[in-house]
Amino acid sequence: MRTIDQTSKKPSYLGDSYYYDSVTVSTKGLELELGRILTTFTTIDLSNNKFEGYIPSIMGDLIALRILNLSHNGLQGPITPSLGSLSLVESLDLSGNHLVGEIPPQFASLTALEVLNLSYNHLEGCIPQGNQFHTFENNSYEGNDGLRGFPLSKGCGNHGHDSASEKTYAEYALDEESNSEFLNDFWKAALMGYGTGLWIGLSIIYILISNGNMKWLERIVEEMEHKIMMARRKKQRRQRNYRRSNNRI
């Protein structure tokens, strides 16, 4: 899948001289049963599994690939721009994952692409324009509320060059690492501030107790006792009034 054989003039099939290999594949939204498999029919179908993590950038080296189906897994992170090097790919299905970020602009160079399915991910930003992207319909992008541009009803406007849509695959990973470091530093600083404030407060109380200057504390206790007594009296009055009204009835 890394090399394209330009020398073969007649079709050759997988198998030996007596028996040919056969396979059923999912491609372009259809289930196809191939009685014989052409050696040039390079396909990867890993759909409906439980794969997680990023799409490996090394997949962009498989330049002879014609069909790539990674749908209905648990893939995360942005779509690697290296998939834009698959110049022969005819069907690309990444639907039903947890992919984020923008659609790589490199995809606009995939002129052999006939079917694109990126539905039900968390993609955002402007849809690339030009070449094959003018032929794809809304169902290629449904379930991605953050996407804008043709053929969707949300226009791209001047948002096509915002900083979020210009993040590369590597920058996204760096941002995730920076965010994690920021949160760690934030909580360290918060805990240090809390500990410092608590220490200062306890020190002030200790100094006041040592100096015998406790009048402020006595006033607070007296005010609290007064409020508690007044609340009890009000409650007792309400109970007496309630009983009297019931006796009258």
Shared domain for 72 and 128, answered yes or no, is yes
> Domain of 133: which CATH number?
3.80.10.10
One domain, residues 105 and 61: yes
Domain assignment of residue 172, yes or no: no
The 3-state DSSP composition of the chain as helix, strand, coil percent (nearest 5) reads 45, 20, 40
Q: Are residues 201 and 84 in the same domain?
A: no
Q: Fill in the DSSP letter of residue 128.
A: P
Examine the fold and report which residue of 143, 165, 187 is the final residue of a domain before the chain moves on. 165
Task: Give the Cα separation of 173 and 162 in Å (integer).
Answer: 18
Q: Are residues 215 and 111 in the same domain?
A: no
Which residues does 142 contact at the CB level (< 8 Å), separation at least 6? 119, 120
* Same domain assignment for residues 80 and 49: yes
pLDDT score recorded for residue 107? 92
- Domain endpoint, select from 135, 165, 195: 165
Instruction: Please indicate, yes or no, whether residues 75 and 107 belong to a single structural domain of this protein.
Output: yes
Are residues 186 and 158 both part of a single domain?
no
Pairing of strands 30-34, 23-27: antiparallel
pLDDT along the chain (249 residues), means of 10: 68 64 66 67 87 94 91 95 92 95 92 92 91 87 91 70 46 55 58 60 60 63 77 75 63
Residues 96, 200, single domain; the answer is: no
- Judge if 43 and 134 occupy the same domain: yes
Residue 98: φ, ψ to 5°: -125, 40
Evaluate whether residue 1 is within a structural domain. no
Q: Which of 165, 199, 225 is the last residue of a domain?
A: 165
- 4 falls within a domain: no
Range of the structural domain that residue 222 is part of: 178-248
What global pTM score does this model have? 0.57
> In this structure, is residue 12 part of a structural domain?
no
Q: What is the pLDDT of residue 75?
A: 96
Return d(Cα 77, Cα 6) in angstroms, integer.
Answer: 36
42 sits in the region (left: phi over 0; alpha: psi -120 to 50; else beta) called: beta
Q: What is the pLDDT of residue 120?
A: 96
For the chain, the distance separating the N- and C-terminal CA atoms, rounded to the nearest angstrom, is 95
Please state the φ and ψ torsions of residue 160, each to the nearest 5 degrees. Answer: -70, -15
Q: What is the pLDDT of residue 159?
A: 46
Q: Could you tell me if 72 and 146 lie in one domain?
A: yes
154 lies in a domain? yes
Q: What's the pLDDT score for residue 34?
A: 67
Residue 124 lies in a domain: yes
Q: Are residues 153 and 209 in the same domain?
A: no
Q: How many structural domains comprise the chain?
A: 2
Same structural domain for residues 159 and 70? yes
